[in-house]
Structure 1
Amino acid sequence: MSKQEDAGRLSARTLDSLPSSVARPAYELERTQVGIVHIGAGAFHRAHQAVYVDDLLPTHPDWAICAVSLNSHDVRDALRPQDGLYTLALLGRETQFRVIGAIRELLCARDEGASVLSRLAEPAVRLVTLTITEKGYCLAGDDLDVAHPDIAHDLAAPATPRSAIGYLVAGLRARRDSGVAPFTVLSCDNLADNGHRLRRAVLQYATRVDAALAAWIEADVAFPCSMVDSITPATDDALRERVHTALGLADAWPIQREAYTQWVIEDRFCNERPPFEQVGATLSTDIAGYDRSKLRLLNGAHSSLAYLGSLMELDSVGDAMGNLVLAGFVEGLMREHIAPAIALPRGLEPGRYIDAILDRFRNPSIRHRLSQIAWDGSQKLPVRLLSTITESMAQGRSIEALCLPIAAWMQFVRRQAQRGVALVDPMNELLQAVGQGCNGDPLHDVPAFLALGQVFGALADSPAFATALTRAYDVLGDGSPSMVSLAVAAYADVPAAP
């Protein structure tokens, strides 16, 4: 990069030229020390966990990040000339720009494997975090897929790994052999029970490599669970141009996210830990409770908006929230029918959490399409809404309002099938057959859907559920926008109390 190009690009040397409207690191970059290795240096990590670390570094400069990409060199090549700096655009009614400096080193394991292993072995590294998506864990169900090409390679050549699992075990082996305390391994992927699943995979791999090492890992290494949440739209040229205009400097890879962010971490570490609670993260022993709250309240409301809103011919979450009848129904669904029926984690105040969800839904800078949220309904509805219906029935609560979004999904499947539109769903062929066979008569259509045991499970055998679902399907009529609007208005006032 020439001096002229360098002068016009974000870097440590150009930080002082930033306008006052752009926030910058509140610490001296050269005084920081790497204490965290992060595997999976994608946009979500840089928009989420790295921002928490950036907030922490002014008072705890020994927790900076070494960001590792397993295969792609794109992030390294974009940000290394920028000294690891990049711009975060926080999307709200007004967009705010902030330069993040938490990543002090960038490595690509594919061609810098020795450097990655060396960094993992350093005593100063006390925490390894991961955002590698579910497929990066190389699982077959809940177990390690030993036939996966990367795992097969690593088992044959554990000193030169390719997989995240292989790197973790190689790094832990080096620390054990040199008498260095192990690092904590923290999964930050949106994967239920993520810490326990990662621990199982690591132990299964380590057992095949070195049984004594596996025993040491099992006894001494912590794999806390976590829950993360923040919408992070992809970087595009429009964002790069906005950032260039705001900074007066080019940034090869800025990122953007909504202002809202949540990070809940199981308080179980085997080495020193960053005081993340000082910068807004929640330390808890009930990650499952936070996961459950997100799935039922946030995701359950999302699915309700998706199917009812799609039938009303609305395009996005923002459009759906602009419909006062639908917005009122979904808010009531969360406050009166979902939150009271589920076991909330200690410390989560439902009213404030629901307020935050509604604010996110109304964010004009985030355009989340209902058609995308409607994908994979057969997989999502059992955990997002049907589980709440099951618990509500056990508590003697009304399930009438909760059945309306389920009936809307059925009407959505019927409409798409009869229009010849394929569903983005692993059960597409079966759902198409059911939808094409519908004739609009609730007594005919509802039993056809309830026969889908993969979706409804034991609820299919409940007369009370079948009755409530049939009633909701009937009220939706032909699934036209006008009929759906009337149904939503009618169900908005259904009481939830026993």
Structure 2
Amino acid sequence: MQMNASSIVNQKAEWEKLGVKLPAFDHAAMTAATKEHPIWVHFGAGNIFRGFIAALQQRLLNEGLADRGIIAADTFDYDIIDKIYTPYDNLTMNVTLNPDGTTSREIIGSIAEGLRADSSDAAMMARFKEIFTDPGLQMISFTITEKGYALYRPDGSLMPVVQADIDEGPAHARHAMSMVTALLLERFQNGAAPLAVVSMDNCSHNGEKLQTSVMTIAKAWLEKGYVGQDFIDYLTDESKIAFPWSMIDKITPRPHKIVEEQLVKDGIEGMEPIVTSKNTFIAAFVNAERPQYLVIEDKFPNGRPALEKAGVYLTDRDTVNKTERMKVTTCLNPLHTAMSVYGCMLGYTLICDEMKDADIVALIKRLGYVEGLPVVVNPGILEPKAFIDEVVEQRLPNPFMPDAPQRIATDTSQKVGIRFGETIKSYIAEGRDLNTLVSIPLALAGWLRYLLAVDDNGNAFEVSADPLKDDLQAKLAGIEVGKPETFTNQLDDILSNASIFGTDLTKTVLADKIKAYFKAELAGPGAVRKTLHDAVNA
């Protein structure tokens, strides 16, 4: 069996015999209608999009609540389009990993087109201009990760590619944010129709980050004379261009061998994962947990799909912000990061296995229930304690959710300021005693110890990718595991960096606590375990 546009029509019985749910709409008609008059373009063609966002539109298509799908684009890894989208006619095998050990399979067919957002490809750029100048386009959305919006280097200077985009103007845009701004300019110059520009990335104030990046580039082009003030006015008029905020939550780990083997055993071809030239490990299938949440600020000046009928919460910005803060700063993401760095050092390769470790469970329970909940804001649509309960009792222990601490430890330097720094700031703002915190300084000490790339048995391991990895490891130079005396004041330069932690930790009592945990974890083999155990059981 091959997954393609022909087989989902001509081999329905065979697919259904394999327990695969098929699109319940005319896939060819949807594709043609979408290409002719697109309503939705999504940038970031990876797993969270394929396994969650595209599945939402499929639900609307299945129920006759929509007649058009989504156009997917990738701004970073063109192999995803060329090797995972095009050969399968933009179809995805979506495998849901249920907590009881069963799996559910559905072919997602709501993606009408897969495009490479490559500014050097004239044909692709012409197609994007065609799409963006269609007055019926309602929304463009993004899952490009938080760093996809970043324009600046850690030292505060513009990235060279962004500076070049600013100097050379809209016609030569290369960075994702420059490209989107240039396409919005095309829309402005061809009728100035409204549009919602929606970040669906898993980061705080995602709509604000997206808006800030777009406006930074647009205003720089204004200064250079590439655009007029009228374009700036268009971007800042919410009745024309809106940047709704959102909160997204669904764990979509990398393709797992067990799932691949089950699909291959059933005779489904082409399910073997590939590694792209940009080092993305991806397959024609997505495996993901069942729980999912998407909360979006209902600000769509040109209309939108009926997403509330697919389970999306459409609400106001304040509620989105509270829900997102609840998850990212308290109820899920901090737990994930804390357990990932310790899991890597303690030799774990699966999050579900970590949930059998009493010390790690104690670490994240204290982090969520004891340290986080006192300063969390209840968003009203989801209850924070119940959310943590689901995370700790169902989601993280799910043995059929093959998520790895190594994946979650990626880009930790970009995450700690939100995942821990926001709670620290809340404690300071509310006059709470920072000395009562244990799991937060333990998590931060664990991350810095993790950066030494030596596990708790004294063996070297590979630190996950992180844009600040080289810089941070250089600052830790000279510190040796097993020789605590090699640790002097090397952490000060890191802990004082408010751009990493959200605040200068050396001006708080937490710095000494982090240093003490860090030094204890250097003592030798088993020191990480002993420090963790002693701290969470004190």
1:77-476 to 2 correspondences below 5 Å: 78-80=84-86, 82-92=88-98, 93-109=101-117, 110=121, 111-134=123-146, 136-137=148-149, 139-140=151-152, 147-148=161-162, 151=165, 155=169, 157=171, 164-165=176-177, 168-169=180-181, 171-179=183-191, 181-207=193-219, 208=221, 209-211=226-228, 212-219=230-237, 220-235=240-255, 239=259, 242-246=262-266, 248=268, 253-284=284-315, 285-286=317-318, 287-297=320-330, 298-309=332-343, 312-358=346-392, 359-371=394-406, 373-374=408-409, 380-392=415-427, 394-396=430-432, 398-409=436-447, 416=454, 421=460, 425=469, 426-434=471-479, 439=484, 449=491, 452-454=495-497, 457-463=503-509, 465=510
Structure 2: distance between partners of 1:474 and 1:429: 18
Structure 1: distance between partners of 2:13 and 2:48: 27
Give 1:46 shift: 1.2
Contact 1:196 1:223 survives alignment (8 Å): yes
Contact 2:476 2:490 survives alignment (8 Å): no
Between 126-135 and 53-62, report the one with greater CA deviation. Answer: 126-135
- The aligned counterpart of 2:69 is 64
Contact 2:97 2:290 survives alignment (8 Å): yes
Contact 1:80 1:106 survives alignment (8 Å): yes
Select the structure of larger CA radius of gyration: 1
User: What letter matches 2:59 in structure 1?
Assistant: D
Question: Tell me, what secondary structure is at the counterpart of 2:377?
Answer: coil
Structure 2: distance between partners of 1:215 and 1:79: 37
Superposed CA offset, 1:142-184 (max 9, x none): 99768548836972637xx655446545554454455462221
- The aligned counterpart of 1:496 is none
Give 1:88 shift: 0.8
Contact 1:439 1:445 survives alignment (8 Å): yes
User: What letter matches 2:420 in structure 1?
Assistant: L
Question: Tell me, what secondary structure is at the counterpart of 2:382?
Answer: coil
Size of the aligned set, in residue pairs, is 482
Between 263-272 and 175-184, report the one with greater CA deviation. Answer: 175-184
Contact 2:5 2:27 survives alignment (8 Å): no
Question: Tell me, what secondary structure is at the counterpart of 1:432?
Answer: coil
Give 1:55 shift: 1.4
Q: Does 2:55 match 1:55?
A: no
Question: Tell me, what secondary structure is at the counterpart of 1:427?
Answer: helix
How has the CA–CA distance of structure 1 residues 147 and 311 changed in structure 2, closer, same or farther, with 3 Å as cutoff? closer
Contact 1:311 1:484 survives alignment (8 Å): no
Between 94-103 and 334-343, report the one with greater CA deviation. Answer: 334-343
Give 1:336 shift: 2.2
**Structure 1: stretches of 5+ with no match in the other structure:** 492-498
Structure 2: distance between partners of 1:182 and 1:303: 39
Contact 2:482 2:522 survives alignment (8 Å): no
How has the CA–CA distance of structure 1 residues 149 and 99 changed in structure 2, closer, same or farther, with 3 Å as cutoff? farther
Equivalent position to 1:18, from 15, 18, 24: 15
Give 1:349 shift: 0.5
Q: Does 2:530 match 1:483?
A: yes
Structure 1: distance between partners of 2:80 and 2:379: 39
> How many percent identity over aligned positions?
24
Question: Normalized against structure 2, the TM-score is what?
Answer: 0.74
Structure 1: distance between partners of 2:268 and 2:508: 63
Structure 1: distance between partners of 2:453 and 2:214: 46
Between 216-225 and 338-347, report the one with greater CA deviation. Answer: 338-347
Contact 2:253 2:288 survives alignment (8 Å): yes
Higher helix proportion (structure 1 or 2): 1
Between 480-489 and 350-359, report the one with greater CA deviation. Answer: 480-489
Contact 1:267 1:283 survives alignment (8 Å): yes
Give 1:98 shift: 0.5
Give 1:382 shift: 4.1
Structure 2: distance between partners of 1:412 and 1:73: 31
Structure 1: distance between partners of 2:124 and 2:411: 38
Question: Tell me, what secondary structure is at the counterpart of 1:322?
Answer: coil
Question: Tell me, what secondary structure is at the counterpart of 1:293?
Answer: helix
Structure 1: distance between partners of 2:92 and 2:398: 24
Question: Tell me, what secondary structure is at the counterpart of 2:537?
Answer: helix
Question: Tell me, what secondary structure is at the counterpart of 1:96?
Answer: strand
Contact 1:231 1:258 survives alignment (8 Å): yes
- The aligned counterpart of 1:494 is none
Structure 2: distance between partners of 1:73 and 1:387: 36
How has the CA–CA distance of structure 1 residues 233 and 154 changed in structure 2, closer, same or farther, with 3 Å as cutoff? farther
Contact 1:417 1:432 survives alignment (8 Å): no
Between 358-367 and 397-406, report the one with greater CA deviation. Answer: 397-406
Give 1:447 shift: 6.7
Give 1:427 shift: 0.8
How has the CA–CA distance of structure 1 residues 367 and 26 changed in structure 2, closer, same or farther, with 3 Å as cutoff? same
Structure 2: distance between partners of 1:311 and 1:78: 33
Structure 1: distance between partners of 2:3 and 2:520: 64
Aligned alpha-carbon RMSD (Å): 4.1
Give 1:476 shift: 7.2
Question: Normalized against structure 1, the TM-score is what?
Answer: 0.80
Structure 2: distance between partners of 1:156 and 1:475: 53
Contact 2:245 2:296 survives alignment (8 Å): yes
Contact 1:434 1:449 survives alignment (8 Å): no
Question: Tell me, what secondary structure is at the counterpart of 1:48?
Answer: helix
